[in-house]
Amino acid sequence: MADHPEWSSHSICLSCSFTPGSVSLSAHQLTVAGFEWGRKNQDSGVNPQGFNPNMSERVQLLLSDRILGMTLTPEGRVWNYGVGLAQMWTANLPYHIVLDTPLPFWAEQHRPNAFLSFANLETGDDTADVENSFA
């Protein structure tokens, strides 16, 4: 909580779950007890001591096709570290969010090694390293 002084009693946490065939959205708001616990808590582990699910309450979401909305994406538009950038991803990877259109799932920027190997095919350096026993 000390890292985010802009959080107030009107802030929510929005969760988005992608399941086969659907997308689920839920929103929660901290209660006074949850806000105080978060302000005092220093344990950033998986199961922090003293946490209670009753420290937040569900809030209503309104989805409408009349409001176009916006898309927030990481600065640089690269977001898919699962395809070809897995070695660059860490749990503490710093990022900044900007208002922009995200790159497509299979974009070249998400898998640079694949496109480098495509470039090597054009140079003719695609022969296999196989030893010929009959030569």
Query: Burial, 74: exposed, middle or buried (Cβ in 10 Å; 0-12, 13-18, 19+)?
Result: middle
Rounded distance, CA 10 to CA 27, Å? 12
In this prediction, residue 62 carries a pLDDT of: 86
Rounded distance, CA 60 to CA 50, Å? 27
Rounded distance, CA 22 to CA 3, Å? 34
In this prediction, residue 81 carries a pLDDT of: 76
Which of 47, 66, 85 is the C-terminal boundary of a domain? 66
Q: Domain residues for 8? A: 1-66
Digit-by-digit pLDDT tens for the chain (135 residues) are 667 788 777 888 899 998 888 889 999 998 888 888 888 887 777 788 888 888 999 999 988 766 666 788 888 888 877 767 777 778 888 888 888 878 887 888 877 777 777 667 666 555 666 676 676
Question: Could you tell me if 11 and 29 are in contact, meaning their C-beta atoms sit under 8 angstroms apart?
Answer: yes
Q: How many domains does the chain have?
A: 2
